[in-house]
Every structure is written in structure tokens, then in C-alpha cells.
């Protein structure tokens, strides 16, 4: 009986260590921390071209929707990016959006990057 309890305690300790490590390396937690710290973080599942990516930059969360070329291809050909926090964009300049475009192009060099309003209007006016 004591041997069984020892095995259960050991299994519980291993499980708790596993949960703690998975919490520390969770990319979604890192994204939330980057938003709070006003730093840059790119969160993307590159293995799934149909899943949206997220960018934290200067306290604003941007979302990008990827579109693949054909049904059989996994190459991302078009990207539409936007944010739900348009009030925070008053502090951004055109250079900030160009930086974000460069970072997106590093991961998806063949993709055409388009911004949704109001970012599109800020890009046209020069920020």
C-alpha cells in the first residue's frame, strides 16, 4: 500500500512539473505578456496556413488572416491584417506599420499584405 502511495505521489509531482513547464512555454501567455509590456511578439502556427496569426506591438494586438493560393498548395499568397483596438492607433506612424509588414514578410515572403481600415487610411495619409 505504501508503495502505491509513493507511485501516486511521484506521478502527481511529474504531472505538476509538466503543467508548470507547459504554462511557461505557452505562446499565448507570451503574447499576453508582450501586450502588457508594450513589446513586440509574433505568434503564429506556421504548420497550419489556415490559422490566423497575432502580433503584439506597442501594446496593441494585431491579427492577420492568411489565404493560401490553391486548395492543394500550402503557400500563403495573401494576408489581411487588422486590429480591434483602433483607438490606440493614434500613437502609430507609417514606419510602425512598415515594420510590421517587414516582420510579416519574413515569415511569408510571397504573400501580398493588405491592411483593413482604419490602418489602410493611416498608411495612405502617412500616419
pLDDT tens string for the chain (127 positions)?
888 999 999 999 999 999 999 998 888 899 999 999 999 999 998 788 888 999 999 999 999 999 887 766 678 889 999 998 888 888 888 888 899 999 999 988 888 999 988 888 777 776 5
Q: Read off the pTM.
A: 0.77
Alpha carbon separation from 123 to 7, 20, 88, 89, 93 (Å, rounded): 61, 42, 15, 11, 8
Per DSSP, the three-state class of 118 is coil
Report phi then psi at 72, rounded to 5. Answer: -85, -20
Give dist(CA 63, CA 122) in Å, integer: 17
The dihedral through the CA atoms of 105, 93, 36, 39 has a sign that is positive
Amino acid at each position: 500500500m505504501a508503495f502505491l502511495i509513493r507511485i501516486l505521489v511521484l506521478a502527481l509531482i511529474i504531472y505538476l512539473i509538466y503543467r508548470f513547464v507547459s504554462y511557461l512555454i505557452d505562446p499565448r501567455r507570451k503574447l499576453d505578456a508582450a501586450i502588457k509590456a508594450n513589446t513586440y511578439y509574433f505568434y503564429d502556427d506556421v504548420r497550419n496556413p489556415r490559422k490566423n496569426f497575432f502580433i503584439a506591438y506597442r501594446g496593441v494586438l494585431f491579427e492577420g488572416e492568411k489565404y493560401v493560393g490553391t486548395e492543394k498548395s500550402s503557400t500563403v499568397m495573401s494576408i489581411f491584417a487588422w486590429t480591434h483596438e483602433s483607438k490606440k492607433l493614434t500613437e502609430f506612424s507609417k514606419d510602425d506599420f512598415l515594420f510590421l509588414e517587414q516582420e510579416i514578410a519574413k515569415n511569408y515572403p510571397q504573400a501580398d499584405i493588405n491592411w483593413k481600415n482604419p490602418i489602410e487610411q493611416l498608411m495612405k495619409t502617412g500616419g
